[in-house]
Amino acid sequence: MRRIPRGVLTTLLLAMLSSLVEARIYDEIIESGYIEIAVYNDFPPYSYLDSGEPRGIDIEVGKLIAAELGVKPRWFWFNADETLDDDLRNAVWKGHYLSRHIADLMMRVPYDPEFSRLIDGYGAVKNDMVVMFGPYQRERWWIARDPKQTNNIRTLANFQYLNIGVEIDTLPDFFLVGAFAGRLRDRVKHFANLFDAAEKLKEGEIAAVVGTRSQVEWGLKGQPDLDLSDDGLEQMSHQAWDIGLAVRHNFRQLAYSVEEIVLNLVKRGEMLKIFEQYNLSYEIPAAYQ
């Protein structure tokens, strides 16, 4: 059997791998007539399927971006992995190990210069393969209280005696378990997601829930008697943060174009209209304030 030279074999392997990762430059996207946008699977109110139709904040934003580019949107649905680093890798710069397919653009990425410059254990930038840009929303943690149980008391010390629900392994979970020297620990009830916690709040089994403002509002819509605010959460790190987009590091022309589109959508009030459509509060990103 004829032996293949090592250099030729390496070239063939690289060619095969590059063909699996379908990353496209700006001109290719425009010429193709579509842009593939990565959105989280089953993640209301941001991105989800309603009777088979894509719905949610990020879906509507993606549609506007595609329209401004003069192309149609295609959705790259993916499941959240263990960390945001994993999500960025799977969605826009390397692809999942089973498919190696990546999207042109990723939605719902924290726009945080400090995060984008994080260093790994070897002294290298952790996310140097992606560019994070274009904030389109400011998100924050909120708490929804049942006034009948809390007696309109807004201090967290109240939850030494009342149950409070959180999604497991989130920042509110870690914060509440450690608050007041751990005196709330036994009253913090863990749920697989915020919406399970919201149902227990509606049923009166817990007195409050903590989560992102948009999800709290979405999960508790139709419950006018609940008290929604961020009172008591002032000591949390990253109490509020901007949400933006991401592309692979070598597709900056696409990033520049989309960044300008997003800025204009915010200025024209288009983002506000999307949130109003879903009966959610909208806050302009701090980057534009």
pLDDT digits (tens, 9 = 90+) for 16-63: 444 445 568 899 999 999 999 999 999 999 999 999 999 999 999 999
DSSP 223: -
Same domain, residue pair 53 and 98: yes
Rounded to whole angstroms, the Cα distance separating 289 from 286 reads: 5
Mean pLDDT of the chain: 89
Query: Helix 270-277 vs helix 57-69: angle between axes, to the nearest 10 degrees?
Result: 140
| Verdict on whether the full-model pTM lies above 0.85 | yes
- Would 5 be classed as within a structural domain? no
Domain CATH number, residue 276? 3.40.190.10
258 part of a folded domain: yes
Q: What are the DSSP calls for 49-86, one per residue? A: EETTEEESHHHHHHHHHHHHHTSEEEEEEE---SSHHH
Q: How many domains does the chain have?
A: 2
Same domain, 82 and 151: no
* CB 40, CB 108: distance < 8 Å: yes
- Same domain for 90 and 75? yes
Assess whether pLDDT exceeds 70 at residue 123: no
State yes or no: pLDDT of 6 exceeds 60: no
Residue 246: how many other CB atoms lie within 10 Å: 29
Question: Using CA atoms, how far apart are residues 22 and 252, in angstroms rounded to an integer?
Answer: 16
Whether residue 185 sits in one domain with residue 202: yes
Percent of the chain with pLDDT over 90: 74
Domain limits for position 152: 140-229
Q: How far apart are CA 142 and CA 229, in angstroms?
A: 6
